[in-house]
Amino acid sequence: MSEPMIPKTMGQQFGRRSWAEPWKIKIVEPIHMTSSAERQRAIAEAGYNTFLLRSEDVTIDLLTDSGTGAMSDRQLAGLMLGDEAYAGSRNFYHLEEAVRTYYGYKYMVPTHQGRGAEHLISQIVIKPGDFIPGNMYFTTTRLHQELAGGTFVDVIIDEAHDPISEHPFKGNVDLDKLQALIDKVGAEKIPYVSLAGTVNMAGGQPVSMANVKALRRLCDRYGIRLYLDATRMAENAYFIQEREEGYADKPVAEIFKEFCDTTDGAWMSAKKDSMVSIGGWLAVNDEEIFDKARNMVVVYEGLHTYGGMAGRDMEALAIGIEESLHDDHLRARIGQVRYLGELLSDWGIPIVRPVGGHAVFLDARRIYPHIPQDQFPAQTLTAELYLDSGLRAMERGIVSAGRDPKTGEHRHPKLELVRLAIPRRVYTQAHMDVTAESVKAVYDMREQMRGLKMVYEPAYLRFFQARFARL
């Protein structure tokens, strides 16, 4: 295995033409540097859970790409145009127009973030005893489906659970699995199919246009609704442009709209694609469902013209929606994620292939084959990365999967991963180099590593607040 310690830099290869971000930096935020002794103390105090670290103790923060993106000068200017009227803020109408123009749905209800919208749609359309098929679970999405009395059923293609498969659309739904569920439980027990663009837990893997269209036809045959988790749908549309026949010459915004038009509605965590600190929405084409959502939002989120967001947040979001669909923005965004992933792959470090849209996922199962899943290999790896360099990552394995609500046992997901999520427009290529070198240093120490035991476990979404101790 040849292991160049210094990554290839721009211009090193004669004749190479590099890409660059379509923006320049106007404001900077200093990063606090930590010593090894400080990090030892901080991670022990945090119970070996990176969610419990103080952000001041982190150098490069790849915990999440959620709410951590850099706003543009246009978005910041938008903050100054906030109309903070309790009802009927003009910023709400801008947001509504942006959702209609770019996503194409008729009716929109704002929420404070994605899970607020998940709560609304789950409570409105799921009845106790229902089944909700989807292309792999997401933590908050599944929990809201369960809290409404539903059971989530994974119908993603098998390749999605295989970190080394190079399938270009690992987010696709396996229509045979969906058909089998319909045959087994009956279409009347399936209120909707829960389809996510670039599947987070599978490694940021996209769904093809051909797949969503075939899925639509199957849903129509049985009168089942098709709802989209649009959180990272812009990135999904970019992958279609890059990989699917017939889309190379279409602008991402057009592909995006075509995809959304194939679905009946969507929920959105605007903190990702749309590059705002907070916000979300639910949008549907069905007026009856909209009426229920608009009524329910006042109970849990806020009036239907702000839903938990300030007027200024809605303005920045309306602008962010438009910016999120620029082709050159997405090329640079996904290009940066790919740069980090390819560097790690070149060094022989096991990651989920192909590199996805928002993050590079380290395969903790293959990095620590000697640590059993019940001793939390991915959680262990997040702690080691932090100790090495102050790099913050997130566990996406057995801790995130939680317990089966019926049996109370740990769910054992096939994928035991650590996610390095890249915030949009925030870090430079040098930060990616430093990150890759830290992963390499931790990887080189892999054989000595032992696992963790869980010493505190909260009832819901345990990964956020669980505490661990070294074995």
Residue 34 binds ligand F0G (CB under 6 A): no
Is-contact 238 330, C-beta < 8 A?
yes
Is-contact 108 282, C-beta < 8 A?
yes
Residue 241 binds ligand F0G (CB under 6 A): no
Name every residue whose Cβ is closer than 8 Å to that of residue 241 and which is 6 or more positions away in sequence.
247, 248, 250, 252, 255, 327
C-alpha closest to that of 433 among 355, 366, 347: 347
Residue 382 binds ligand F0G (CB under 6 A): no
Residue 174 binds ligand F0G (CB under 6 A): no
Residue 196 binds ligand F0G (CB under 6 A): yes
Is-contact 337 351, C-beta < 8 A?
no
Residue 373 binds ligand F0G (CB under 6 A): no
User: Is 328 one of the catalytic residues?
Assistant: no
What is the identity of the amino acid at 114? Answer: G
Residue 200 binds ligand F0G (CB under 6 A): yes
User: Is 463 one of the catalytic residues?
Assistant: yes
Quick one: 113 or 305, whose CB is closer to ligand F0G? 113
- In this chain, which residue has its C-beta nearest to ligand F0G? 114
Distance CA 120, CA 267 (A): 9
The stretch near ligand F0G (CB under 6 A) out of 113-121, 234-242, 289-297, 336-344 is 113-121
User: Is 229 one of the catalytic residues?
Assistant: yes
Residue 113 binds ligand F0G (CB under 6 A): yes
What is the identity of the amino acid at 303? Answer: L
| Residues linked to residue 308 through DSSP beta bridges, in sequence order | none
Quick one: 276 or 387, whose CB is closer to ligand F0G? 276
Print the binding letters for residues 205-234 with ligand F0G: x by CB under 6 A, - otherwise. ------------------------x-x---
Quick one: 204 or 390, whose CB is closer to ligand F0G? 204
User: Is 138 one of the catalytic residues?
Assistant: yes
Backbone CA torsion sign across 330, 321, 358, 175 = negative
The stretch near ligand F0G (CB under 6 A) out of 10-18, 109-117, 183-191, 282-290 is 109-117
Which of 115, 170, 304, 312 is in the footprint of ligand F0G by CB under 6 A? 115
Which of 78, 280, 357, 413 is in the footprint of ligand F0G by CB under 6 A? 280
Would residue 67 be called left, alpha or beta, if left means φ above 0 and alpha means ψ between -120 and 50 degrees? Answer: left
Interface size with ligand F0G, residues (CB under 6 A) = 15
Residues numbered 118-147 forming contacts with ligand F0G, rule: CB under 6 A? 138, 140-141
User: Is 327 one of the catalytic residues?
Assistant: no
User: Is 131 one of the catalytic residues?
Assistant: no
What is the identity of the amino acid at 9? Answer: T
Catalytic one among 152, 192, 290, 463? 463
Peptide bond into 354 cis (omega under 30): yes
Q: Which residues are catalytic?
A: 86, 138-139, 229, 272, 396, 463
- Given the rule CB under 6 A, which residues bind ligand F0G? 64, 66, 113-115, 138, 140-141, 196, 200, 229, 231, 269, 271, 280
